[in-house]
A and B are shown apart, each in its own frame.
Chain A
Amino acid sequence: MIPTLASVLDFQLQSGQDGRSPQQQLLDYLRTKRLLLLLDNFEHLLSPPLAPPNESDVLPASPPMGGIGGGEALVAEILRVAPDVQILVTSRERLHLHSEQVCPIQGLEFPDGETTSPNGEGSPDGEGEEATEYTAVQLFLQSARRNQPDFALQTSDSLPHLAHICRLVAGMPLAIELAGCLGRHVAPGGNRG
């Protein structure tokens, strides 16, 4: 992770000129920086949890996904020495550091198929304009229109089906985008296979 960080920050690590380790060089570089660092998919860099007893002799020596583990220790060091660096991490698991502000996120908001507006003011016969207040519906339409620019949501027919899709995937954006891309192949009403 240290060479990667250095290269992304365009910082040249020196090889043992003054005896400072690469980590020390990076920390010294960051010490005076005012930076926002985004570290994506950090779960690969976390120290592995305690391995189940019978797996330790079977798993390869290198940790999964080319990760090195122990990434949270480096983050803690950066925070300690570089007062003007803020770090925004995305991860499936939190880092369990003392100073960490955890922000869990959920799926997008989707209609329940009964009402058509987030405020519950619509009716099952409502117009599509109300349904499109839901971010899940907006994402579905964006994906669908990438393949089919004139794709329109026939509210009274399709909305319950779209709501069904959203509920199946708990509003997960990746799944909604995939479903939206199918607009070319099938209308939402026929999407139940």
Chain B
Amino acid sequence: MTFGEWLKHRRQQLALTQKELARRVSCSEGTIRKLESNARRPSVQLARLIATHLEIPPQQLSAFVAFARAEVYTADMDKALTALGEDLLHPPPLPLPAIIWLETASASHGGVIKHNLPVQLTPFIGRSTELAALNALLADPNTRLITIVGPGGIGKTRLALACGEQQLTAGTASPTASSSSIWPP
């Protein structure tokens, strides 16, 4: 299935006319027509607006934008994107909201660490320098807020989860601030 076909299908599922969808995402009806006939691809901004109005779960936004823009498009990629499109049509049940917490050892819990880190299904690859830098930052109690910034699909979530796992493994993060904990690593 191409993105255009998918878009049309999803729009009709939600009982939206081309005109109505165009109004909601603030583009012309002609643009929607061209998208549905695969004559053009949406900008990132437009793809995100479309995702909003076609009720794509936030967890799938990156995949959706990549699908819509076919940024890595080759004829062979079509099959993978089709599978992805089917996932979008029949999304798996939403996991818990994307908030993970890790309660580090405190006297009130007798040193027990509580957390809700999800189990990852595939091994985490690479990012050793980034992980080391994040761990060093977190070891400093003065670092209160760290933002991993990057475009969709770059691996921010996976890196954050891997960092959480390492913090969990390390148990109580010993407050030994590293003076070399400067980003980029």
A136 to B138, CA, bound (A): 26
A 147-166 binary contact with B (CB < 8 Å = 1; else 0):
00000000000000000010
Residue from B144, B145, B154 having most chain A Cβ neighbours under 10 A: B145
Residue A73 is within 8 A (CB to CB) of chain B in the complex: no
Residues of B within 8 A of A185 (CB): 76, 79
Q: How large is the interface on B (under 10, 10 to 19, 20 to 34, 35 or more residues)?
A: 35 or more
Report whether over half of chain B's contact residues are helix, strand or loop; otherwise say mixed.
Answer: mixed
| Total number of residue pairs linking A and B with CB closer than 8 Å | 215
A5 to B80, CA, bound (A): 35
B 67-111 binary contact with A (CB < 8 Å = 1; else 0):
000011011110111011000000000001111111111100000
Contact A95 B145, beta carbon cutoff 8 Å: yes
Residue B40 is within 8 A (CB to CB) of chain A in the complex: no
Residues of A within 8 A of B152 (CB): 92, 174
Contact A139 B125, beta carbon cutoff 8 Å: yes
- Could you list some 11 contacts between A and B, CB below 8 A? A8-B97, A8-B101, A36-B167, A40-B99, A58-B24, A85-B144, A138-B125, A169-B72, A172-B151, A175-B71, A182-B80
Interface residues of B (CB under 8 A from A): 23-24, 26, 48-49, 51-52, 58-59, 61-63, 66, 71-72, 74-77, 79-81, 83-84, 96-106, 116, 122-123, 125-127, 130, 133-134, 137-138, 141, 143-161, 163-164, 167, 183-184
